[in-house]
Amino acid sequence: MKYHVFAGALVFVAASLSASAGDKKDAEAASDSKISLTEAIHTAEKAGMGKAVDAEVEGSKGGHARYEVEVLSSDGKKLTEYTINANTGKVQEVIVTQR
């Protein structure tokens, strides 16, 4: 149970640091998005059947944001990065890393 609290806190800290050190363009793109970072994290956790360990917002040339969320599988053997469209909430890309 402590792991879940720690993972959630880690995601919050990473997202906060990313926002404060990130580009103004990224922040503007995220503020115009229909999907929140929290919703993107839930989508990625559901798809990856694990817990998010990192999350950030990225702006694109078209001004639309996307979220990149890393999810560690419940058994700790697989780290998956999900790129989620910030307007539709749909997963656009999946990159899997075996540990």
**CATH code (residue 33):** 3.10.450.40
Number of H helices, E strands in the chain: 3, 4
- Confidence (pLDDT) at 75: 92
Higher-scoring residue by pLDDT: 79, 20: 79
The H or E element containing residue 58 is strand 50-59
- Confidence (pLDDT) at 74: 92
pLDDT over 70 for what percent of the chain? 63
- Give the chain's domain count: 1
**C-alpha span between 24 and 65 (Å, rounded):** 12
Q: Which pTM does this prediction carry? A: 0.70
Mean pLDDT of 51-72: 88
Parent domain of 31: 2-98
Mean pLDDT of 19-25: 55
Higher-scoring residue by pLDDT: 72, 98: 72
